[in-house]
Amino acid sequence: MGQQQLLAILLGTIIVGIAVAFGITMFSDSVINANRDALCGDLVILASRAQEFYRRPTALNGGGNSFDLLTTDAIAHLTDQPRNGNGSYFIETAGTGTGTNAVVVIKGIGTELNNGSSVAVHVFVYPGRDSMVTIN
């Protein structure tokens, strides 16, 4: 009877250990996904502001149907807080072109780590649409 009890305790300990490890993994994945979703939400807002900048006349501090003024150090045209609790945002590829070929790339780097590197998302902003790309 003593051996059966020890075996039951050992088996119970193994099962609890596996459950705890699984729970930690699930929680970590949830935090990473939440950070990625928050980055995407912030980037949608920045993409909308970039499109607004594109359409605004240059006389009103806009782009005058161009992304050319959105250079890699011009994130201030889109937000006064390029860093928040979700991550940091910057213009990765300066705006180029006019018309339907115009594009600017904004990158968000999250606060959470995914496999040793930060969560990151790109948004490619065009005059009439945007396209989100998850990096990590």
Cβ pair 39, 110 in contact under 8 A = yes
Q: Provide the 3-class DSSP secondary structure of residue 1.
A: coil
φ, ψ of residue 120 in degrees (nearest 5): -145, 145
Rounded CA Rg of the chain:
23
Q: How many domains does the chain have?
A: 1
Band the pLDDT of 1: cuts 50, 70, 90: low
The rounded distance, in Å, linking the Cα atoms of 88 and 80 is 12
pLDDT for residue 28: 67
Tell whether the model's pLDDT for residue 97 goes beyond 80.
no
Q: What is the pTM of this model?
A: 0.80
The mean pLDDT of 18-43, rounded to a whole number, is 86
Strand segments, DSSP code E, in the chain are 87-96, 103-114, 117-125, 130-134
The string of pLDDT tens digits covering residues 5-14 is 888 889 889 9
Indicate if the pLDDT at residue 40 is higher than 90: yes
Q: How confident is the model at residue 21 (pLDDT cuts 50, 70, 90)?
A: confident
Range of the domain at 8: 2-134
